[in-house]
Structure 1
C-alpha cells in the first residue's frame, strides 16, 4: 500500500509552500509521485520527501520540476528563498546568520564606559557630499530596494569619516537583509556597532543592537535572540534613551514576544511603547531616529497582532500603516499590503484578500527586494488552501506569472562579503 500524503501547512515555511505547490501541480496533471520521479530522473521517495517538506530540493530539482510541471517560472521563482532557508538550516555555511556572533560586540557595548559620551555627531564641510549621497541612497533604497543601491553604499565605506562609515554600514546591513544575505548583514551591523563603541556613541550602539540586530534575528526566525538583544539595549541605555528611542526598542521586544506566542509579555511591551510615544518630543530625539513615526509604529503592531493570531487588529494596523506611509516607500508599502492580504485571508475575507494581494504583487515587482518577494510568497502560501476559488486562483497565477520580476539577479551580489564587510 502507498503511503498517505502528509498534510502540509504551506504557511510554515517556503519549503512547506514549495512542497504543497509541487503536489498541487502534480495532482492537476494526474501524475503519481513515481511518475513524476521518472520524469525528473529521481526516485519517487525523493519526490515524496520534498512534497512533505522533509527534504530540501536542489536547484536542478527545482528547475526540472518547473519544466515538467508546466509551472512557467512559478516554482523556479521560489529558489532564492529556498536557498536562503537552506543556509539558515546549515551548520557549515560560514556566511549564514548566527545568533552567537553578536555576543562579543554586545558585551563590549554593555561594559564600555567612556569618560565622556559623544554628543550628536557633527559633520565637517568636507564630508557633506558623502552625507548627502548617503541620504539620497536611503531614499532610493526605500523606492527601489537594496538590489538597486547596495554597491553604491559599499563604495561610501572607503572614507576616514567614522560617522559616515557608521551610517553606511547600517544601511549596507539593512540592504543585505533586503537581498537575502543575512550573514553579510550581521557582519555590517556588528562592524557598525564596534565603531559606535569605539567612538563613544552609546545610544546609537543600543539602536544597532535592538533595532538593527533585533529585527535581523526576527527575520531569521530567532525570536529568543531578538528578545535578548532588545532587553540588553533597553537596560544598557536606560539613562540615555529618549522616549522615541525607548519606544522603538520596546516594539522590537513586543515583536519577539508575539513571535514566541507570549501574549501577556507582548501586550505589556506595547503598552510601555505607547507610554513612551505619548512623552515623545520630536525636537529632542536623535536625528537617526527621525524616520520613526506613526507608520512604523503601526507596522510593528500589525506584525505583532498577526503573529498572535489577532487578525482584525492586524488588519486595522496594517491598513493604518499603508495609509500613513509616504508613496515613495514602495518596498514597505508592498510588505505591509501583503501582510494586510494575509490577515484578510486568515480572517476569511478572501475577496478583499485577493484585491490587496494583487496590489502587493504590483508594488513588490517595482523593487529589487528579497524581503518584499518573501512576504509576497508567504501571502500566497496563506491563499494556497483556497486555490479552488476562481478569485484566489487568478491572483495566484498573476503573481506566479510575474515571479521573474520578484526574483532579481541582484540577490547573488552580496552572498560573499567584500573586505570591508567586517
Structure 2
C-alpha cells in the first residue's frame, strides 16, 4: 500500500523509459552482480519506487543505481536525500529503517567493526603491538607485549554488541568474513597474557568467548557449518579455561542449535542438557527456557514426541517466571516471539503442520518489525508450515511477504528455508496465488519455473 502523501518519483520513471517494470528490475539485478551486490529487485519494488513509497533506497540499492547512472546523485534520481529521510523528524518508509534503529549496510560493516578496535590510542597501540594490522615482517619485529587494560577489553565487548546489532538487521552472509578480524584480535589479546588486573582478564576471556560465539553464529547463519562448529568449540574451551559458567551455557546453547540444524539431533539434546547444567546456578529462568527449547528441538529430531513436549513445558514454565537481572545480555532476542517460533519448529519437525503454523503466526504477530532478519525468518517458517498443511494460497501470500524483506536480509539459512517452501508449493501451481508467487520467486532468485 502506498504511504499517505507519497509523491510519485517521476525522474526515476523517466529513467525506466520504454522498458516494463519487470525488464527494468532485471537490469537492476544485472547491474548489482556487476559490482558484487545482491538485491532482490522485482517489478513490485520498481513500482514502490515510482509511486514514491520508497523515498530513499537502502545502501545496496544506492550503489547499484549510481553504478547504472554514473555521475548522478540520489536527488537526481528523484529520491530524497538520506539526511532528510533519516533526520530526527523524518518518517520511516518500508525501505528505510526508523531513526531509532540506525544501521549501516553490509559493505560498510568492515569499517564499523574495524573502528571498534581503533577508538583509543591504547587499543590502537595494543593492536599494532600484537602484529595484527601489518605485514608478517612487522609482526616478527614487534616489541614485547603491552599490558591489556580497559580500552582493549571495552573494544572487544563493543565489537560483540555491534556484530549482534548488524546481524539483527541483515543476517550473517555479508558479515562473517568481516567479523573474523576482530575475533583474531581478541584472541591475540588473550594470548598476550598480560592483563592489567584479574578482573580485566576475566572480562577479556568472557568477551573473546562471546565474540567467538557471535562469529560462529554468523558462520552458522550463512551455511558455513564447520566454521561455526569450530568457533563454538573455541568459545567452550575459553569458558572452561576461565571457569565461566555463563559463557559455557551460551556455547552449549549454540552448539545444540547447530547440531539440530545439521542433522545430529542426539548431539543437540546432549549439548542442551549440558547447557542447562551450566546455567542452573546462574539464576536466569529465561536462559533455562531457551536451553529447554534447544533440547525440545533435538528431541523432535529424534521423533521423541513425549520428551519434546516435556521440554517445551519446562520452557514455558521457566519463561513465565519473567525476566531477571541475571539474564545474559546476548539473550535480548529471546522474547515471546522467539519462544513461539522455536515451538513452531518443534511441531513442524514432528509433522504437525497446522499446529506449527499457529505458533509461527503468533511469532510473526509478536515480533518487533525493526528486527528484520527475525521477521523474515518467522515468516519463512510460516510459509513452510502453511505449504505443508495444505494452505497453499496462504503460504503464497506469506512467501510474497518474505520476498519483500529479502533485500534487507542476507541469510543463507532463510533462503534455503524459503526454497524448501517453494518446492512444497510447486505441485499446487495450478492455483493462481501459488503460480504468481512461484513466478515472482523465480524472477528474484534467477531460477527457472
TM-score, with structure 1 as normaliser: 0.63
Q: CA deviation at 1:237?
A: 4.2
In structure 2, do the counterparts of structure 1 residues 199 and 404 end up closer, same or farther at CA, with 3 Å as the change threshold?
farther
Partner of 1:192: 235
Partner Cα distance (1:277, 1:203) in 2: 18
Q: Kindly name which structure, 1 or 2, has the bigger radius of gyration based on alpha carbons.
A: 2
Q: Tell me which of 155, 163, 175 is aligned to 2:181.
A: 155
In structure 2, do the counterparts of structure 1 residues 272 and 343 end up closer, same or farther at CA, with 3 Å as the change threshold?
same
Q: Is the 8 A contact 1:342 1:353 kept in 2?
A: yes
Q: Is the 8 A contact 1:138 1:171 kept in 2?
A: yes
Encode CA deviations 1:372-406: one digit per residue, 9 max, x unaligned: 1111111112212212323212211211211159x
Partner Cα distance (2:216, 2:156) in 1: 18
Partner of 1:227: 269
Q: Tell me which of 163, 169, 188 is aligned to 1:137.
A: 163
In structure 2, do the counterparts of structure 1 residues 291 and 282 end up closer, same or farther at CA, with 3 Å as the change threshold?
farther
Q: Which sections of structure 2, spanning at least 5 residues, go unmatched?
A: 1-148, 190-203
Q: CA deviation at 1:126?
A: 4.5
1:245 aligns to 2:287 (yes or no): yes
After TM superposition, the runs of 4+ consecutive aligned structure 1 residues lying more than 6 A away are none
TM-score, with structure 2 as normaliser: 0.59
1:321 aligns to 2:363 (yes or no): yes
Partner Cα distance (1:310, 1:169) in 2: 36
Q: CA deviation at 1:241?
A: 5.3
Partner Cα distance (1:338, 1:352) in 2: 12
1:45-84 aligned at under 5 Å gives the runs none
Partner of 2:244: 201
Q: Alignment length, in residue pairs?
A: 282
Q: Is the 8 A contact 1:134 1:153 kept in 2?
A: no
1:321-360 aligned at under 5 Å gives the runs 321-360=363-402
Q: Which sections of structure 1, spanning at least 5 residues, go unmatched?
A: 1-122, 406-422
SS at match of 1:175: helix
SS at match of 1:331: helix
Partner Cα distance (2:157, 2:282) in 1: 25
Partner of 1:301: 343
Q: Is the 8 A contact 1:338 1:360 kept in 2?
A: yes
In structure 2, do the counterparts of structure 1 residues 241 and 224 end up closer, same or farther at CA, with 3 Å as the change threshold?
farther
Partner Cα distance (1:252, 1:321) in 2: 17
Partner of 2:409: 367
Partner Cα distance (2:155, 2:420) in 1: 40
1:278 aligns to 2:320 (yes or no): yes
Which structure ranks higher in relative contact order (CA pairs < 8 Å, sequence separation ≥ 6)? 1
In structure 2, do the counterparts of structure 1 residues 223 and 245 end up closer, same or farther at CA, with 3 Å as the change threshold?
same
Encode CA deviations 1:276-312: one digit per residue, 9 max, x unaligned: 1122333232333333211211111111121222223
Q: Is the 8 A contact 1:224 1:256 kept in 2?
A: yes
Partner Cα distance (2:247, 2:160) in 1: 17
